[in-house]
Structure 1
C-alpha cells in the first residue's frame, strides 16, 4: 500500500490517480497512525516552502523515522524541496534536512520564463548516482512535466541522479539510499512518469 501524506496540498488526488493508473492502491491520509505504519511513503507538494513546512509539522518526526527505517520514500516537486535544509523562498524556515543544502530561486538573467513550466528532458549523463537510482531504471532521455520557480542545490552533488537543462543544469532527481525525489511531476508525465512510479513501488522492503 502506498501512503500519501495529506497536509492540505492541492495535488494529492493527482498523485493518487497516478498510482491508480498502474493498478496500485494508495491511501491519502492525515492520520499519524497510518503514516507511521506506512510501507511506502509519498510527500507531494505544490505551493510555497514555508507553507509546506508549517503544514507537515505534525508529521516531521514520522517522516524522519520512516526514512531512518530504510523504507521507500518519494518526494514530488515541493516535496523534494522540503527535503533540503532551507530555502531562499522562506528565509529562516528549516527544511527536513535529509539532504544538506539550500533551495534556490531560478535565475532570471538567462532570459527564460519563471516559473519554469512545461516539458523538459531528463538527463542523467552528468550524474554518478544514476547507477544506483532504481526509480530511473528504463528511463532514457525522456521528457517530464515541470512547474517550479525554485530548484534544489544540495551540498553533496553525488545525491543528484538527474538534471534538466533550463539555462543551466537544474536538479531534477535526488536519491540517497531509500529516499527518492523528483522536481517534476511523474504522475503528469505520461508513460515515462508512470514507469517511474512503477519502479518506486517495485522496490523491496
Structure 2
C-alpha cells in the first residue's frame, strides 16, 4: 500500500515535492500519481500544484480526480500546498471559478494599488520570496517550527476563509493574509514547504507522523 500519495493533475513539476516528502518519509512508499484508486488506497495525501486556478480545476476534473480528492479530504491526513490550498475553498477571483468547496471562503487577489510595505515602498505582485509565518494556533504540524519562521512564497492570490477558526497562520505582505489553514484532518499552506529548507522539511516530517 502507498503510504503517501502526491496528487498529479498535470499542473506543475512535482519532483521537488516528491523528493522532499521521500526525504522525511523514513522509507515509506511515496507515489506521485494521477490514478484515483492509488489516492483512495493511500494512508495520507499531499495535494500540491501551481498555475492558474481555472486550469487546475479543469485538469482535476478531466483526469477524474475530483471525487478522490474530496474523499481524501474527508477521511485521511491531507496536506494542501499553494494552489492545492486555494482549490479547497468555495470560489476564486482568478477566472471567477468555483473551487472544491471543502472549506468556506474565497480566494482573492492582492490589490496592487494598495500594496505598500511598512517602509512606504510599493510591493510587487506576485508575492515572491521568503516571508515570516506567524502561527495563529497550536498544531501538530508546527511542532519544532519557531513562530515567525520564514517560508518560501510565490503567489498573486491568497485565501480569505469565511470562518476565522480555520486560520492556522498569517503573513504580512502589504496586509495580513492567511498563509495556513487547518480543520480536523486537513492542513493547507500557501507557501512551499518543499522549497523552505529545514523548516519546510520539518513541516513535511510532522505531516508524515500526524495522526489527526
Which position in structure 2 is the counterpart of 1:81?
Answer: 86
Which position in structure 1 is the counterpart of 2:108?
Answer: 104
Range with bigger deviation, 184-193 or 37-46: 37-46
Cα root mean square deviation, aligned: 1.2
Which position in structure 2 is the counterpart of 1:156?
Answer: 163
Alignment of 1:46-195 (within 5 A): 46-57=50-61, 58-69=64-75, 71-91=76-96, 93-108=97-112, 109-110=114-115, 111-124=122-135, 127=136, 130-131=137-138, 133-140=139-146, 141-195=148-202
Which position in structure 2 is the counterpart of 1:31?
Answer: 35
1:199 equivalent among 188, 203, 206: 206
Separation of aligned partners in 2, 1:43 and 1:99: 15
Separation of aligned partners in 2, 1:144 and 1:11: 19
Separation of aligned partners in 1, 2:89 and 2:123: 25
| Cα displacement (A) at 1:204 | 2.4
Secondary structure of the residue aligned to 1:34 is helix
Is the contact made by 1:11 and 1:44 (CA closer than 8 Å) also made in structure 2?
no
Secondary structure of the residue aligned to 2:49 is coil
| Cα displacement (A) at 1:20 | 2.3
Is the contact made by 2:194 and 2:200 (CA closer than 8 Å) also made in structure 1?
yes
Q: Which stretches of structure 1, 4 residues or more, deviate above 6 A after TM superposition?
A: none
Is the contact made by 1:119 and 1:146 (CA closer than 8 Å) also made in structure 2?
yes
Separation of aligned partners in 2, 1:204 and 1:80: 20
Unaligned runs of 5+ in 1: none
Separation of aligned partners in 1, 2:46 and 2:187: 10
Separation of aligned partners in 1, 2:7 and 2:187: 15
TM-score (norm 2): 0.90
